[in-house]
Structure 1
Amino acid sequence: MSTKALSSLLQKASIDDHEEVLRLCDDALAKSRSDLQAQHVKVVALLKLDRYEDCLRVFEEGGDNLKRNAALEFGYALYKTGHPSEAIDVVSRLVNDRGARHVEAQASYRAEEFRRTAELYGELARDSTSVANEEHDLRINTWATDAQLQWKGHPALVRHTRPTRDDLEAFETVYNAACLSIAKGEFDQAWMLLKRAKELCRTSEDLTTEDRDAELLPIAVQQLYVLICQGKFEEVEPILEEISIKEIPELSTRKVGQNNVTIARGTAANPYALYKALHEIPDSTDNDRLFDYQNTIITGNLHAVDLLVHKYDGIIRSTSKALSRAPYPSTEASTSLLSVYNVAAHAKGGTGSSTLKAILSAIDKRPKDLGLVLTAVQFYVSLGNTTSAIVTLEKSLHLLEESISAQEKEIRFNPGLLSVLITLYKRDGRRTRIKAELAKAAAFWKEQATQPTSLLRAAGASLLHSSLESDSAQAAELFKTLYQNTPDDLFAVAGYVASHAAIDYSLVEAKAKYLPPVEDLISDIDITSLETAGVSNSSCTAAVTATAITGARKRTANNKERTRKRTRKSRLPKDYDPSKTADPERWLPLRDRSTYRPRGRKGKQRAAERTQGGVVNERSEESTPSGAQQQKPQGAGASSKKKKKGKR
């Protein structure tokens, strides 16, 4: 049979045995190594047999023609061998290819580009032409993507809130919904969903015994994690019996399971046993590696146990090497933790002034290392020295602000760092600094492509309470941006109405109707229970009292004649006569009144001397100035007695 005829037969044939397909392809390629059709069929057969490394070798032998002709298969092979970035680059060039979009979404998920992953699955779900047979897979993957978005700190992008009835019918979607609840910190909800997922997995008829056992292990590992987070160590024993670390096929899941099992069994009493247990599992690689947030936690636990067994030099070497390759400065948690453990190793477990000296010395060498700076801030706060904590953080932020690098300026106004600084300002009572810092951050982020919504909301609310016209104008601009981006957000609508009402109420009059009335907002408040709980009646009616006072002041200002204030009778003298006019000089001292007449010769002389424009007494001018003291002569013959006059 000719090579061309064999290729045509392979194209039309339907063979379920992929090994047989692979044998026929090898026979065809033995006669013509450049047969593109046979090469294409061969890579598909290898993918079906999960022989991804062999598939990549065929692509390298086939050259660019095979990679172009089988771009989808090439991208999938790259993804499965742990090269997600290269896979995205290949399949993203395929236009109007639904399979390519699926591969790109999976590769983006593995590359931890979860925003792009959510966009791709959203596009696939909106395309109703082929969604019927993919609805189940899309539901599973979108739940997983939302869980990762929550873990990465993007809760605004999470689309799912609670699982629907359809979501509760498959253990995969229930498990992913439980993972989302764990990421949100809703551990009671997560526990209920994990129990549901375990029941569905055990009763599933689509799984073999081996597959069922493999699916139950990750569920048990997550249940153990939930119990540890809740501090329910007395309930972990039944879950520990279900977990066999050696039977977990994925290295990444096995490493997480070993970490949770070790912590649950409480081997911290013997740090060397803890060290051995946490280092038993080798590091996972390629497509089975841990996600960044998982790796950060595991690495932190390993460094912590290294400190317990006094491996200070090893920690210093490993963290210094990792920090030399990491970006500087950086807001990544993994990089910041490396700095924390590095300085902890230098301090060798100390907690006093020597530790603070080691931290400050490290900051002098790396003043923009946020891990070190935040460690010093926490140390100062634990000592009750909030002022030094503020000064330390402000110095580093000032260096970042003066930098010409756009990346460093973005780090300067990072929402996490700003929240730490504002918390310190609140602790120290610096209200004015809070408003100024939020205004500066809002002005910076307004010019950026991506804007942190939570920070803009906080800045707008703070500036809205300012009495300065410039702050009010900036608040109006911020809330206008928030309203345009999220018109369904009631907070943005309320801020937009409040900030523009004083400028032009006609612009927001229609939008104000969408806000809930005040009566509805306070309808569930029981004033009686508040008073019983200790809230005074004056506090409950403060707003009414303030309104009454404001109204009274307005009425007084509008009156043409001010009413005379009634004088209390108790302050009037006993001989007071309302028909007589009071002496206008009654508040002056007696000697300063015009009716004062001194008595005696000396009194009249003193009065004459004090009179302005009167006759000047030369004798008084020659006398000793007022306030001076005459000195008596000292020494022999200085006697105050007068000598008797002798005869002349």
Structure 2
Amino acid sequence: MSTQSLSSLLSRASIDDHEEVLRACDAALAKSRSDSQAQHVKVVALLKLDRYEDCLRVFEDGGDNLKKKAALEYGYALYKTGNPEAAIDVVSSLADDRGSRHLEAQATYRAEKFHRTAELYQGLAREAAPSANEENDLRINSWATDAQLQWKGHPESVRHTRPTRDDLEAFETVYNAACLSIAKGEFDQAGLLLKRAKELCRTSEDLTPEDRAAELLPIAVQQLYVLICQGKSEEAESILQEISVKEYADLNQWINNSLQNHRIPELSTKRIGQNNVAIARGTTANPYALYKALHEVPDSIENDKLFDYQYNVMTGNLHAVDLLVHKYDGIIRSTSKALSQAPYPSTEAITNLLSVYNVAAQAKGETGTPALKAILSAVDRRPKDIGLVLTAVQLYVNLGNTTAAIVTLEKSLQLLDESVSEQDKEIRFNPGLLSVLIALYKREGRKTQIRAELAKAAAFWKEQGTQPASLLRAAGASLLHSSLASDSTQAAELFKSLYEKTPDDLFAVAGYVASHAAIDYSRVEAQAKYLPSVDDLISDVDIAALEAAGVSPSSSTTAAAAAAIAGARKRPAPSKDRVVKRVRKSRLPKDYDPSKTADPERWLPLRDRSTYRPRGRKGKQRAAERTQGGVVTEKSEETTPSGQQQQQKPQVGGSSQKKKKKGKR
């Protein structure tokens, strides 16, 4: 078949003739293997048929010319086969192509580079007005990206706050908005949005019954998660009954059937659903049944992998159920092998999670002090293992020993501080790790140490390319309360940097004004006008209600808090209304008379009581000698306070000293 006949065939073919197009391309390539047009058409047909592995083989046979000519198709095939990093490298060079940027956004989303994903979607939305379908896709994907940024711990990069009226028109957007609320911990809001998403999905006319069932599953799984987090077990059970189909016994069987019928192709959705169902069913009463339920679903592959935060939760659940069935040796072997290949030290969540479960298996189910002994032994072997150190700190805090927790954490931080590795230095001033140390300092009222740690952290991150804004804000606020001139200067520099980067942030503006007002108010007079006035800030304060509620304790009560932490105990002063504890009759003396007042000196020895009268001549003589102001006799002067006579010491070298007899040595 010639190229002309292939072109004429393609001009008459419809979008559903992919198999026929593929056969025509194979016939053309059988005559000329270097026909680039036939190769290009073939890879498109294979992509339409979801045969991504076959598509990559055609690209390998076609060489660099075909990869360059069909770069977008090549990047899409890499993305669909679970290689998003390579896809990003291919399509990032196609800067002027709008479709390539959509693909790059999808690939960066899959590679968990959510900041870059957000930049791409913002750029696409700012350009020429997109079509209705593209605008809807941009809205849906932007909400999904913000949810991922929140889950990854970057709330400052989240653009969406509350869904608009347009956002509430499509169930996909409402579902992603609910995911963002879940990531923020706003479960009540998430529950309302999930109900809205379910209603829109059920009434959608664009979905077939099979597609509708597939779309309802993740919504129901998220609803189940929200209800579990809220502790609403009865409502969670009703969700399970609602999403189960009559002909199937439970959700797991429905998921398995849906997977076999290609209605739910994502293994990741199946894993998450089965995990939530197992927990909601309360199978923890039988840990072996829970172990079986959580290990039934195989790991997802290629482009259907769990995100990091999902994988960490699932891994933690699997190791937790392994501990419940006493598979200690297996946990130690698997986690030790993974830790040997992981960087040390590390702030990665999965690495530290493996350290926690490794030492939990070594403790063999012990808790409290026995578990602490095993953990401290592991910390001595790996003193810079953040997961082990934080586990020891947590146990110390649970035992009420905050001081020991601080000492343990400070030792590890000192080792990191003394290291010459840049990676160790970055871990030393990790915002999350510092927040733990500062929280411990706050429990003991160590304000000076808090200010010193934040100042050192701010000085370190100021020299780095990427700076954690939350840490710099906390450092600036703490340094503002210091009376030292050096701290005030550092606070001014920090807030100036924050204000220059985020001039719309009221916190940065307030800090900038507060730190520079004492130095030169004219420099911040313009910025001070943007801050809300004191009258506006206290306009909704009910003074009468505050006075009725009482005065809050001042900072001077920190001494009492420190005494409580140190374990000091004081008996409260007796009050008039204090209830006297009834004493048993068996503990009272036989001649006890409740109408008589007990002798207040009954606890003193007899000779120390005021009613004591000595008997006999010697007794009266000793009593007279002990009496203050009594007659002093010569005999009493020669006696010691104990009544013994003092012996005269021999003089050294005197004649009265007896000589030693000579004898054998």
Aligned to 1:229: 229
Larger C-alpha radius of gyration, 1 or 2? Answer: 1
Counting only pairs closer than 5 Å after superposition, residues 568-647 of structure 1 correspond to structure 2 as: none
Aligned to 2:450: 434
Specify whether residues 10 and 456 from structure 1 end up closer, same or farther in structure 2 by C-alpha distance, changes over 3 A only: farther
8 Å CA contact 2:368, 2:395 repeated in 1: no
Counting only pairs closer than 5 Å after superposition, residues 464-543 of structure 1 correspond to structure 2 as: 464-535=480-551
Distance 1:245 1:328 in 2: 40
Aligned to 1:345: 361
Distance 1:208 1:82 in 2: 28
Counting only pairs closer than 5 Å after superposition, residues 247-646 of structure 1 correspond to structure 2 as: 247=258, 248-535=264-551
Tell me whether 1:100 sits opposite 2:100 in the alignment: yes
Specify whether residues 196 and 632 from structure 1 end up closer, same or farther in structure 2 by C-alpha distance, changes over 3 A only: closer
Aligned to 1:245: 255
Aligned to 1:155: 155
Structure 1 gaps, min length 5: 540-630, 636-648
Measured after TM superposition, the shift of residue 93 of structure 1 is 1.5
Deviations 1:177-236 (A, max 9, x none): 111111011111111111111111111111111111110111110000000010001111
Measured after TM superposition, the shift of residue 286 of structure 1 is 0.9
Distance 2:529 2:112 in 1: 42
Distance 2:337 2:171 in 1: 43
Deviations 1:61-94 (A, max 9, x none): 1111111110100000000011111111111111
8 Å CA contact 1:415, 1:455 repeated in 2: yes
Distance 1:95 1:358 in 2: 56
Aligned identity (percent) is 80
Measured after TM superposition, the shift of residue 535 of structure 1 is 2.6
Specify whether residues 634 and 257 from structure 1 end up closer, same or farther in structure 2 by C-alpha distance, changes over 3 A only: closer
Aligned to 2:115: 115
For 1:500, give the aligned amino acid: H
TM-score normalised to structure 1 length: 0.82
Measured after TM superposition, the shift of residue 238 of structure 1 is 2.1
Distance 1:23 1:37 in 2: 14
For 1:456, give the aligned amino acid: L
Tell me whether 1:187 sits opposite 2:184 in the alignment: no
Secondary structure, in 3 states, of the residue corresponding to 1:63? Answer: helix
8 Å CA contact 2:182, 2:190 repeated in 1: yes
Distance 1:316 1:633 in 2: 77
For 1:102, give the aligned amino acid: H
Distance 1:426 1:535 in 2: 22
Aligned to 1:209: 209
8 Å CA contact 2:224, 2:276 repeated in 1: yes
Deviations 1:560-591 (A, max 9, x none): xxxxxxxxxxxxxxxxxxxxxxxxxxxxxxxx
Aligned to 1:601: none
Specify whether residues 533 and 10 from structure 1 end up closer, same or farther in structure 2 by C-alpha distance, changes over 3 A only: same
Deviations 1:520-568 (A, max 9, x none): 10111111111111238x99xxxxxxxxxxxxxxxxxxxxxxxxxxxxx
Aligned to 1:141: 141
Distance 2:206 2:296 in 1: 34
For 1:449, give the aligned amino acid: G
Secondary structure, in 3 states, of the residue corresponding to 1:293? Answer: helix
8 Å CA contact 1:78, 1:86 repeated in 2: yes
Measured after TM superposition, the shift of residue 511 of structure 1 is 1.1
Distance 2:648 2:325 in 1: 89
8 Å CA contact 2:221, 2:276 repeated in 1: yes
Structure 2 gaps, min length 5: 244-250, 259-263, 555-645, 651-665
For 1:42, give the aligned amino acid: K
Aligned to 1:6: 5
8 Å CA contact 1:124, 1:131 repeated in 2: no
Secondary structure, in 3 states, of the residue corresponding to 1:33? Answer: coil
For 1:67, give the aligned amino acid: K
Measured after TM superposition, the shift of residue 14 of structure 1 is 4.4
Deviations 1:42-78 (A, max 9, x none): 1111111111111111111111111111010000000
Secondary structure, in 3 states, of the residue corresponding to 1:43? Answer: helix
Distance 1:340 1:301 in 2: 13
Aligned to 2:580: none
For 1:63, give the aligned amino acid: G
Specify whether residues 12 and 350 from structure 1 end up closer, same or farther in structure 2 by C-alpha distance, changes over 3 A only: same
Distance 2:316 2:213 in 1: 30
Distance 2:492 2:271 in 1: 51
Distance 2:270 2:493 in 1: 51
For 1:153, give the aligned amino acid: G
Deviations 1:587-626 (A, max 9, x none): xxxxxxxxxxxxxxxxxxxxxxxxxxxxxxxxxxxxxxxx
Aligned to 2:557: none
For 1:55, give the aligned amino acid: C
Measured after TM superposition, the shift of residue 4 of structure 1 is 2.8
Distance 1:128 1:159 in 2: 21
Aligned to 1:646: none
Distance 2:344 2:373 in 1: 22
Measured after TM superposition, the shift of residue 633 of structure 1 is 8.0
Measured after TM superposition, the shift of residue 352 of structure 1 is 4.1
Measured after TM superposition, the shift of residue 404 of structure 1 is 1.6
Deviations 1:328-366 (A, max 9, x none): 111111111100000010110112433212111111111
Secondary structure, in 3 states, of the residue corresponding to 1:115? Answer: helix
Measured after TM superposition, the shift of residue 11 of structure 1 is 5.8
8 Å CA contact 1:316, 1:342 repeated in 2: yes
Distance 2:463 2:293 in 1: 50
For 2:3, give the aligned amino acid: K
8 Å CA contact 1:125, 1:131 repeated in 2: no
Distance 1:377 1:525 in 2: 40
Counting only pairs closer than 5 Å after superposition, residues 124-135 of structure 1 correspond to structure 2 as: 124-128=124-128, 130=130, 132-135=132-135
8 Å CA contact 2:10, 2:21 repeated in 1: no
Distance 1:479 1:53 in 2: 53
Secondary structure, in 3 states, of the residue corresponding to 1:236? Answer: helix
Deviations 1:357-411 (A, max 9, x none): 2111111111110000000001111111111111110111111111222121111
8 Å CA contact 2:21, 2:42 repeated in 1: yes
Aligned to 2:654: none
Distance 2:147 2:130 in 1: 25
Secondary structure, in 3 states, of the residue corresponding to 1:515? Answer: coil
For 2:136, give the aligned amino acid: H
Distance 1:329 1:424 in 2: 22
Measured after TM superposition, the shift of residue 634 of structure 1 is 9.6
Measured after TM superposition, the shift of residue 12 of structure 1 is 4.2
Measured after TM superposition, the shift of residue 129 of structure 1 is 5.1
Tell me whether 1:165 sits opposite 2:175 in the alignment: no
For 2:194, give the aligned amino acid: L
Aligned to 1:543: none
8 Å CA contact 1:6, 1:28 repeated in 2: no
8 Å CA contact 1:259, 1:278 repeated in 2: yes
For 2:19, give the aligned amino acid: E
Measured after TM superposition, the shift of residue 427 of structure 1 is 1.0
TM-score normalised to structure 2 length: 0.80
Measured after TM superposition, the shift of residue 95 of structure 1 is 2.5
Measured after TM superposition, the shift of residue 327 of structure 1 is 1.6
